[in-house]
Amino acid sequence: MQNELSQTELQDAWPLLLSSDRLEGFKLLAQAEADDFFLSLKARDQAELLLVFPEGERRLWMRLLAPDDAADVIQEAPPAEHAGLLALLDDTTRTEVAALLSYAEDEAGGLMNPRYARVRPEMSINEAISYLRRQARERLETIYYVYVLDAQQHLLGVVSFRELFAAPGEKKVQEIMHSEVVTVAEQMDQEAVSQLFAKHDLIALPVVDAAGRMKGIVTVDDIVDVVQEEATEDIHKIGGMEALDGPYLQIDFAHMVKKRAGWLSALFLGEMLTATAMGYYEHEIERAVVLALFIPLIISSGGNSGSQASTLVIRAMALGEVRLRDWWRVIRREIFAGFALGAILGTIGLTRILLWPTRAQVYGEHYALVALTVAASLVGTVLFGTIAGSMLPFILRRLGFDPASASAPFVATLVDVSGLIIYFTVASVILRGIIL
């Protein structure tokens, strides 16, 4: 017993283990647990494990996988191994998997399972049930819905398994089937597929080609992974970097630094404009150093409000709540929001300077005018930040980029330069001839 490891123990330790230790750990599982454990792994880990198995064992494990999962595993393995892994499958499965591999990983065809429950419209319920019992023995893994096809594989309708099961045995399938079916096109992007699932609350959706012929089903358990994956991508981009393509602790260090350094350097180059802008105002700063004190406060407020606005819009776009043509409704809301938020921060800033005990020493005798400059600049910067932050995702999407790239740091960088310009312009209006 001492040698036996439980599935849960291994699952917990998994992320921390090296490839070789993983194989060791895996060998310590009882046979029944090993099967379950293998099937519960992500395709990436399954591929890794498969490739450290001795040749002879690989076949067994590959054949345990459903066609869509086998296709995922092959896609995760190095290209040189693809043909070898494919050859391990039985003939039928190999044909199915090869067909799946021709789709991109992130389109509906790449997610679909070609094995689904099918019946003919003219069958009676009793005939359909015994036909399904035969299919279940041979090749199905799951039955949620039964699809009604004609001889050319055109999708005519769908019946939920429960409905089929509850109907009187003598009725015909076509009498109980629903002929308005929500379908997915083969090339549909996985994010669009996940929005369809969210909209219709279904367990599976049929994939059809351009001629209406059924190719397979996408099931909602694959969609949970898609939703997580897409959210992770967006979150990484919102954080101001390229999306990592693996778990944080497992990803290669050099690879991670590369993904972060790219955006960080781009933002740095953009932010250099602030040094240039500051150069223009060097004389103003020399004459009134007090102005320099509020620079970080003002530009960061613009950045923060911009970050809020862009994040809201990015997420609403990803959920399909806001579309490109809604930009006008968004900007109208954000102009009001920007004014309101700017007024709140402006008031806090004004109060802070006017009530500060040592105001006259720190900010000079014209502290009230300085306070006014800061407050007015805050309204301007927050308003500008809000508008820029909310419109940037629209502009990016319109130009064909991912709106999630309108990250908090990107917006902040954009807004920093304009914040400086707003601040010094306001200052030159209010303070010209007094301290400037």
Task: State the angle between helix axes of 31-40 and 19-27 in degrees (0 to 180), rounded to the nearest 10.
Answer: 140
Residue identified by tokens 């050859």 is 87
**Residue 35: closest CA among 15, 14, 7, 12:** 7
Question: In sequence order, what E strands does 154-212 have?
Answer: 155-160, 184-185, 204-208
Least spacing, CB of residue 54 vs its own copies, in Å: 27
Nearer CB in complex with its own copies: 214/411: 411
Contacts of 330 (CB under 8 A, 6+ apart): 313, 322, 390, 391, 394
Task: State the angle between helix axes of 55-64 and 43-52 in degrees (0 to 180), rounded to the nearest 10.
Answer: 150
Nearer CB in complex with its own copies: 87/257: 257
Nearer CB in complex with its own copies: 87/272: 272
Nearer CB in complex with its own copies: 84/265: 265
Least spacing, CB of residue 63 vs its own copies, in Å: 18
Least spacing, CB of residue 284 vs its own copies, in Å: 10
Least spacing, CB of residue 322 vs its own copies, in Å: 6
Instruction: At 197, list the tokens.
Output: 């699932």
Rounded to an integer, what distance in angstroms lies between the CA atom of residue 424 and that of residue 281?
7
DSSP 154: B
* CA 392 to mean position of chain CA atoms: 18
Nearer CB in complex with its own copies: 102/248: 248
**Residue 422: closest CA among 378, 370, 371, 372:** 378
Nearer CB in complex with its own copies: 101/297: 297
Contacts of 271 (CB under 8 A, 6+ apart): 413, 416
Nearer CB in complex with its own copies: 22/315: 315
Least spacing, CB of residue 208 vs its own copies, in Å: 17
